[in-house]
Amino acid sequence: MHIEAAAFVAITAGRLGPFDSVLELGGRNVNGSVRPYFAGARYTSVDICPGPDVDIVADATTYRPEERFGAVVCCEVFEHAEEPDGFVATAWRSLRPGGVLILTAACPPRPAHSAIDGGPLRAGEFYRNVAPDMMARWLVGWKDTEIETHDDRGDIYATARKPD
């Protein structure tokens, strides 16, 4: 997690929180975690691979938690997922009405990088930067949707609320 994306999550958590419970999709700590920005919340992190800060090893695109959360966070994952809409569907299922979705991802012109360690892509690894129109399509049906891009560093951030 680079510093600007982490700062966006910290500011957003403060602005839209506090949250009593948070589900992080794709939460393996590769180079930083957003978990500290949700102090006091019951925090659950799901990732397809075991590793630092992972509470549940599962495919986040098909994960079905038994409880509903106040916030879902998905940071720096969409560019590595062939079907990011699965993450959005899981977020929708996992949030209580009025719950908040917080997203960060890479957009053009950020260079391709590995989901394993942030280094060069490995053979067979998927990567695609997220364009603003793609993000907007995934968030159709949500309310209070905000999308911002930072083309100078290749960042796209979004927040949305599940309707009541």
Burial class for 14, CB neighbours closer than 10 Å (0-12, 13-18, 19+): exposed
Handedness of CA 21, 24, 30, 31 (dihedral sign): negative
pLDDT tens sequence across 25-60: 998 988 789 999 999 999 999 999 999 999 999 999
pLDDT tens sequence across 112-164: 888 878 888 899 888 899 999 999 999 999 999 999 999 999 999 999 999 99
Provide the residue range defining the domain that includes 55: 3-161
C-alpha–C-alpha distance, residues 76 and 9, integer Å: 11
C-alpha Rg value of the chain to the nearest Å: 14
C-alpha–C-alpha distance, residues 7 and 124, integer Å: 31
Q: Which amino acid makes up residue 10?
A: A
> If we measure between CA atoms, which residue out of 103, 106, 102, 101 comes closest to residue 80?
106
pTM of the model: 0.94
Answer whether 40's CB lies under 8 Å from 64's CB: no
- pLDDT for the residue numbered 113: 81
C-alpha–C-alpha distance, residues 47 and 93, integer Å: 17
| Structural domain count of the chain | 1
User: Domain of 20: which CATH number?
Assistant: 3.40.50.150
